[in-house]
Amino acid sequence: MAEAVNPFSLSGTQHSQHWPSLVSPDWWLNKAFLATTGQPKSAWRWTPGTTMLSTQRGVLTGVVLYLAMVFGGQMVMKNVAKPIRLKRITQLHNLLLTTISGFLLLAFMEQCLPAWRDKGFFFTICGADSWTQPMEVVYYLNYLTKWLEFFDTVLLVLKKKKPEFLHYYHHSLTMVLCFEELLGRVSVAWIICSINLLVHVIMYYYYFMASCGKRMWWKEILTTLQIVQFVVDLGLCYFCLYTHITFHAVVPLPSVGADCRGTRLAAYYGCVLLSSYLLLFVQFFIKTYLKGEKGNHLGFRSIDYDSMKTKKSESPGKLEKPVKAEE
């Protein structure tokens, strides 16, 4: 009779575990696989058409249902007298995504930093062998979190807040981008995902504190960090795409003399989408922090203090009724 496997034993580490047990995300993931499937993490494979949410039809259906929820939900909530404020659920959701994002960020670091140290940075973003099965597990889990983030919009709709274009555009197409990265096995995706996860740790912590009633002073810094994220992402994406194209070009072009792993479809989609993100976030930053225009982009609102002072000076004897802030 085979001996039962103890998923919480400190023994039985895999070759992909580079950090000590208990502080190693890879160790925890392996124990989770053993506990839920009875097999080690190394036995899992991303198989399009078989793995959960691994088909283009499923992804397209998810986007359509998400957008239907955005617009249909707003129509339904117009007939509801009061906003539905799920405060505890909102706090739990934000705290959960903060924790998951931090865990996956460490999981990427555990796999990529040793490769960076041993084979160089160029290998990690372009090398044919840099896409490994342990990395694929983390990529897939990161992809699943993009589905979980759809719940952000559900909470906004229930509160009778109108999600702006940037909000649902970003949420829906980022999920598609993560799917395309998995299909195309884009090596540079690890650093794009890692930077995004770092931003999400900070962003969802901000949302968690805000949902607890805390006033945070650094939301402008958060938006700036998001813009810097896309600048770095685009620099790497265009470099890798250029490297791939020049390596296969018929006409000799300046090149590093090596290829970059990943399909061109995934590379083109990533470059175009991230470029649009950069433009939209810069536009949001200008409207929110520089021009002082009122807006509801991503849940932020700015206040035009100059116009408030002008109105107050025009009617000094009239007391204005305070406006109740939105939750």
Which residue type does 44 have? W
Instruction: Give yes or no for a contact between 280 and 166, defined as CB atoms under 8 angstroms apart.
Output: yes
In degrees to the nearest 10, what's the CA dihedral of 186, 190, 193, 199?
A: -150
In 3D space, the residue among 237, 220, 202, 182 whose CA is nearest the CA of residue 302 turns out to be: 220
Give the integer Cα–Cα distance in Å for 185 and 243: 16
Structural domain contains residue 153: yes
Residues 165-168: contacts with CB within 8 Å, 24+ apart?
165/280, 166/280, 166/281, 166/284, 166/297, 166/298, 167/297, 167/298, 167/299, 168/66, 168/67, 168/70
In 3D space, the residue among 237, 262, 107, 81 whose CA is nearest the CA of residue 185 turns out to be: 262
Structural domain contains residue 170: yes
Structural domain contains residue 81: yes
Range of the domain at 168: 25-41+55-308
pLDDT of residue 89: 95
Give the integer Cα–Cα distance in Å for 239 and 271: 10
**In this predicted model, what pLDDT tens digit does every residue of 212-258 receive, in sequence order?**
988 888 889 999 999 999 999 999 999 999 999 998 887 777 878 78
Domain count, the chain: 1
Structural domain contains residue 297: yes
pLDDT of residue 215: 86
Number of H helices, E strands in the chain: 11, 0
Structural domain contains residue 12: no
Instruction: Give yes or no for a contact between 190 and 115, defined as CB atoms under 8 angstroms apart.
Output: no
Structural domain contains residue 32: yes
Q: Which residues of the chain have pLDDT under 70?
A: 1-13, 292-327
Give the integer Cα–Cα distance in Å for 162 and 174: 20
Structural domain contains residue 183: yes
Instruction: Give yes or no for a contact between 281 and 226, defined as CB atoms under 8 angstroms apart.
Output: yes
pLDDT of residue 249: 80
pLDDT of residue 259: 87
Instruction: Give yes or no for a contact between 236 and 192, defined as CB atoms under 8 angstroms apart.
Output: yes
Structural domain contains residue 225: yes
Q: Angle CA(206)–CA(210)–CA(212) in degrees, nearest 5? A: 120
